[in-house]
Every structure is written in C-alpha cells, then in structure tokens.
C-alpha cells in the first residue's frame, strides 16, 4: 500500500534504538527523509548506518531533548539537510522518579515532566508554523498505556497523560488546517536496553512468568515493529480522518475502556 509519504521530511526523537529507530525505519521505507536524535553518540551512529544501509536518506544529531539548545539545533540541522519538517515523532521519554511522590521529590518530578511532556511541546512549537503554512502536517507522540490508566512512576504517568491531553487539544484546533495530531500508547515493549529487558535480566524466570501471566493477554512482551508501522500509518494520507486519538498498541494489556 502506498502511504503517500514519498519525499516528506520526518524528525524522530530517541531514534537510536527501540521504538524510535523502528519508527524511522518504517517512515524511511515509505520514502521519507528522516532525522533522528539521541544522547548516546555510538548507538546513534550505529542506527544511522543501519538506516542508511537500507537505502534511507537519514541524518543523526546527537542531542538531549531536555535541552532547549539541543532541541533547536536538532530542528535546525534537519531543516538544513532536508528542508522544512512535515512529520514530527515525539518518541523520547522515560521514568525519572518513583511510584511514591514524596520519594520522587519535586526536582525529579519536574525532570520527568520535562522529559515526557515539555520536550515534545517545545518541538511542536518549532515545527508547527511550517505545517500550518503549508496546510499539511503530522504530529505523532509516543505516550503509554500508563498515560491512560494507573501505572509506572508518578512523573511518567503524569507526563504521558499530559502528552495525550496536549495532543487532543492541539488536534481539535488544527484539524481545519490539515495538521493531524495523534498519540500511540504502547504497552510493555521489549527491546535491548528497554525497561522490560532490564526487568527480565534482574528478576527470576518465575517472577517474569508471573508478570506475563498476570498482565499480558498475548502471553509475551510486545516488540517495536508494530509501533513503527503504526507511526507510518498515522503519518500517511491513508489516515487523513484520524486526529485527536490515542491508539493503544499493547496486545490487550490495558484494562481501560477509554
């Protein structure tokens, strides 16, 4: 199926591994020019080389999305390499605090919101003027099922819920301008270096098996490819009536009806 993305320019945060790299690969296969960023230089270069080896036009920018200077530089380098940005994938995020609020403390709570919410908001602020001007844009943010129901650390859950709310508000205001804004809510996705990879390494097989039995109806952890393919679909012309939604990709893990 032709998704109508040939020649579009996409920025993907946290693109050196896991969901971000898979999103870049899926968009690149559809003909997008992709700019990825991450903090770690070595893994970032490995991802760039892998994507380029697959015939994808790609640049990699070492950047920390919690830094305003780095966010601006990532955007500027993407524009310099490929032109104005048509697609933004806010993938970077993660836990900074604890389940308990007081144990987390205000400093780490703020860090969690900066990582999971405000970094995405700031990047939207950078790409949105061009999207509105050309009457075409796609903003896709990777939230979590724990932004829709209870789970994870207090900062992570709050930040991911805020990302869904921000995206809904943005989507309804931008729909007349053909700038579509959606979220994806993954469940427990396993890949090297992920939270769930570490969980399996740091616990006994019995503990892991009990977690899977209790939480994962499919009987196994998820994997990055379905997330990447969902990103490509939501970015495409085939999804031109989908905006303001948060789509679970979780193998039935979440319990909420909404």
Alpha helix (H) ranges present in 55-180?
68-82, 101-113, 119-134, 154-174
Q: How far apart are CA 181 and CA 25, in angstroms?
A: 20
Question: Which DSSP state fits 145?
Answer: G
Host H or E run for residue 246: strand 246-249
Question: Which DSSP state fits 14?
Answer: S
Question: Which DSSP state fits 222?
Answer: B
The SS3 assignment for 201 reads helix
Q: Which entry of 115, 156, 166, 191 is annotated as an active-site residue? A: 156
CA distance from start to end of the chain = 30
Point out which residues pair with 140 in neighbouring strands: 89, 182
Q: Is 150 designated active site?
A: no
- Backbone φ and ψ of 3, nearest 5°: -90, 0
Host H or E run for residue 226: helix 225-235
Cα 198–Cα 202–Cα 204 angle in degrees, nearest 5:
125
Cβ proximity of 34 and 10 under 8 Å = yes
What are the residue numbers of the active site? 156
């Amino acid at each position: 199926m032709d998704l109508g993305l040939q020649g579009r320019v996409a920025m993907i945060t946290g693109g050196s591994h896991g969901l971000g790299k898979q999103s870049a690969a899926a968009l690149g296969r559809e003909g997008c020019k992709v700019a990825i960023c991450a903090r770690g230089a070595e893994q970032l270069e490995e991802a760039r080389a892998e994507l380029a080896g697959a015939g994808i036009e790609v640049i990699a920018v070492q950047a920390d999305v919690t830094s305003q200077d780095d966010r601006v530089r990532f955007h500027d380098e993407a524009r310099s390499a490929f032109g104005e940005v048509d697609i933004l994938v806010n993938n970077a995020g993660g836990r900074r605090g604890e389940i308990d609020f007081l144990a987390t403390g205000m400093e780490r709570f703020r860090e969690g919101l900066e990582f999971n919410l405000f970094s995405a908001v700031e990047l939207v602020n950078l790409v949105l003027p061009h999207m509105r001007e050309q009457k075409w844009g796609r903003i896709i943010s990777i939230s979590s099922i724990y932004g829709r129901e209870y789970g994870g650390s207090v900062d992570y859950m709050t930040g991911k819920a805020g990302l869904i709310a921000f995206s809904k508000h943005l989507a309804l205001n931008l729909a007349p301008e053909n700038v579509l804004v959606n979220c994806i809510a993954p469940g427990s996705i396993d890949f090297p270096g992920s939270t769930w990879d570490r969980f399996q390494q740091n616990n006994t097989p019995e503990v892991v098996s009990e977690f899977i039995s209790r939480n994962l109806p499919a009987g196994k952890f998820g994997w990055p490819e379905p997330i990447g393919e969902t990103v490509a679909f939501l970015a495409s012309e085939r999804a031109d009536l989908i905006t303001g939604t948060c789509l679970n990709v979780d193998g039935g893990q979440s319990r909420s009806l909404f």
